[in-house]
Structure 1
Amino acid sequence: MKKLMLIALIFTGIGMSAQNAEFGLKGGLNYGATGDYETFNDASGDFVNSFNGDNKAGFHAGIFAQFEIIGIFLQPELMYTELNTEYSEFDYKVSKLDAPVLLGLNILGPLNIKAGPSFQYILKNELEKTELEIGDVENDITVGYQLGAGLDLGRLGFDVRYEGAFTENTAFGLNETAQENFSIDSRPSQWILSLSYSL
C-alpha cells in the first residue's frame, strides 16, 4: 500500500507542472479470467494437471487524472476491480486495487491510443462453490500492462483496453480430501470497457 501512495504523490507533482490537467471518475466492465489452476501430488510434489478458467464478466470503478504535456498525456488511475473466474471445481473471486499508469497520444480528433504498466494489489481472493480453501497470493504488488484506445467526447470518455501479465502471482491451496496441493495464478488476462466523466 505504501508503494501505491508513493506513486500517487509522484503523479501529483507531475500534475502541478503539466500544461493541462483533468480529474474524473470512471467505471465499467471487465471480461476475462485469472491464470492457470494447477494441481500437484501431495506426496511427491510432482505436477499433475493444469486447467484454464472460463472467462467471466466483472466490474471496476475508481478515479483518474490526465496530465497533458506538449500534446502527449499521462493518465494515472486508481481502480477497485472485482473479477470472478470459473474453473471446473469452483469459482475463484478476486477483489483488488489496480493502478495503471498510461502514456497516451491523441491521434485523430477525439481518438487516442494509450499504453503502460498496471500495478495490482490483491485485497481479497477466495474460492466459491467449494469447501476448498485458498491462501494469500505470493506477492502483494505485481505489475502487468494495459494497452488500448479511447474516445473523448467533451466530459465523457470511452475506453477499450487489453490487460496482460508480465509474471504470475500464485496463490496456493490444499485439497484435504484428495491430499493434493493446488495453485492458481491470480494475475488476469482481460478486456476492459470503461466510461469516464471529467469533473
Structure 2
Amino acid sequence: MKKLMFIAVFLFSSAGLMAQEADFGIKGGFNYGATGDYESLGDGADDFSQIIEGKEKSGYHIGVFSRFEIIGIFLQPELMFTRLNTEYETFNYKIDKIDAPILLGVNVFGPLNIKAGPSFQYIINNELEDTTLKIGDVEKDITVGYQVGAGINLGRLGFDVRYEGAFTENTAFGATETAQENFSIDSRPSQWILSLSYAF
C-alpha cells in the first residue's frame, strides 16, 4: 500500500511541475464486469477438475484525479476506491480495492479525447458472500493491468468510458483444508468503467 501511495504522490507532483495546464478534481461512477475464473479440485484429482466463469455484476468507484497537459498531450493519474462484485453460480465474490491508473491521452476532436495506460491495483478486502466457503488473501499485493477509453470534457464536467483488462492473474485460494472445498479465484478483473468527474 505504501508503494502505491508513493507512486501516486510522485507522479502527481512531478507532472505538475512540468505541465503547461493542470486540473485537479473528484470523480466517481459505476463499473460492470467480473473477476477471473473459479477453479475447484475434485476428490483425488491432481489437476483442477471444474472451471466456472464469473458472471458480470455492477459495482462502483470514487476518488480523485489530476490532469496535466504538456505540448497538447495530457497525463492523467488517478487514485480510486473501487467495489467490484462477481457471481459464481452459488455465491458472490466481493472485492474492495485501490486503483491507481496512469493514463496518457490526447484531444482528438473538440471536447472528445482518447486515453490509455497502466492501472495499478491493490486489494484491501476480498470475501465470499452467500456461502460457507472462505477465501484467503491474494498472492500479490500489487498487480498491473491496463485501461483504455474515451471521454468528453464540457467545462469543468467530464464524462468517461473505459475498458479495464489484466496482464496477469492474481490468485486467491480457498482458506479450507477439506479436499472438496479446495478452490482458487483469479481476482484480477475485466470490466467496463463509466465515470463522471468535476475539476476544481
Q: TM-score, normalised by structure 2?
A: 0.96
Paired amino acid for 2:4: L
The worse-fitting range, judged by mean Cα deviation, of 48-57 and 173-182 is 173-182
Correspondence for 1:3:
3
In the alignment, residue 81 of structure 2 is paired with which amino acid?
Y
Q: Any conservation in 2 of the 1:29–1:60 contact (CA below 8 Å)? A: yes
Q: Is residue 58–residue 83 contact of structure 1 (8 Å, CA) maintained in 2? A: yes
Name the SS of the counterpart of 1:190 in structure 2: strand
The answer (yes or no) to whether the contact 2:72–2:106 under 8 Å persists in 1 is yes
- For the pair 1:97 / 2:129, whether they are aligned, the reply is no
List per-residue Cα deviations over 1:125-159 (Å, max 9, x = no partner): 00000010000000000000000000000000000
Alpha-carbon distance in 1 for matches of 2:43, 2:15: 51
Q: Which moved more, 1:178-187 or 1:138-147?
A: 178-187
Match in the other structure for 2:85: 84
Counterpart code for 2:97? K
User: Which residue type is aligned with residue 113 of structure 1?
Assistant: I
How many residue pairs get aligned? The number is: 199
Alpha-carbon offset, residue 177 of structure 1:
6.1
Q: What SS class does the counterpart of residue 55 from structure 1 fall into?
A: strand
Structure 1: unaligned runs, 5 residues or longer: none
CA contact 2:41–2:179 (8 Å) conserved in 1: no
| Partner residue in 2 for 1:136 | 137
For 1:25-36, what aligned pairs fall within 5 Å after superposition?
25-36=26-37
How far residue 175 of structure 1 moved from its aligned partner, in angstroms, is 5.8
Kept after mapping to 2: 8 A contact 1:90/1:127: yes
Q: Deviations over 1:158-198 (max 9, x none)?
A: 00000000000000005666634100000000000000000
- Measure how far apart 1:41 and its partner are: 3.4
Cα distance per residue 1:41-63 (max 9 Å; x no partner) = 36444210111111100000000
One-letter amino acid matched to 1:24: G
Percent of aligned pairs with the same residue? 71
- Distance across 2 between alignment mates of 1:9 and 1:178: 45
What are the ranges of 5 or more consecutive residues in structure 2 without an aligned counterpart? Answer: none
SS in structure 1 at match of 2:182 = strand
Residue of structure 2 in register with 1:51 after alignment: 52
Q: Which residue of 2 aligns with 1:190?
A: 191
Distance 1:22 1:43, change over 3 A: same
Instruction: Verify the 8 A CA contact 1:42 1:181 in the aligned structure 2.
Output: no
Is contact 1:84–1:94 with CA below 8 Å preserved after alignment?
yes
Per the alignment, in what secondary structure is the counterpart of residue 55 of structure 2? Answer: coil
5 Å-filtered alignment, 1:108-123, equals: 108-123=109-124
Hey, what does 1:158 align to over in structure 2? Answer: 159
TM-score by length of 1: 0.96
Distance 2:175 2:183 in 1: 6
2:63 paired residue number = 62
Instruction: Please say which of residues 41-50 and 94-103 is displaced more in the overlay.
Output: 41-50
Distance 1:3 1:174 in 2: 27
Residue 8 of structure 1: how far off its partner (Å)? 1.9
Which amino acid is the alignment partner of residue 192 of structure 1?
I
Residue 13 (1) aligns with residue 10 (2): no
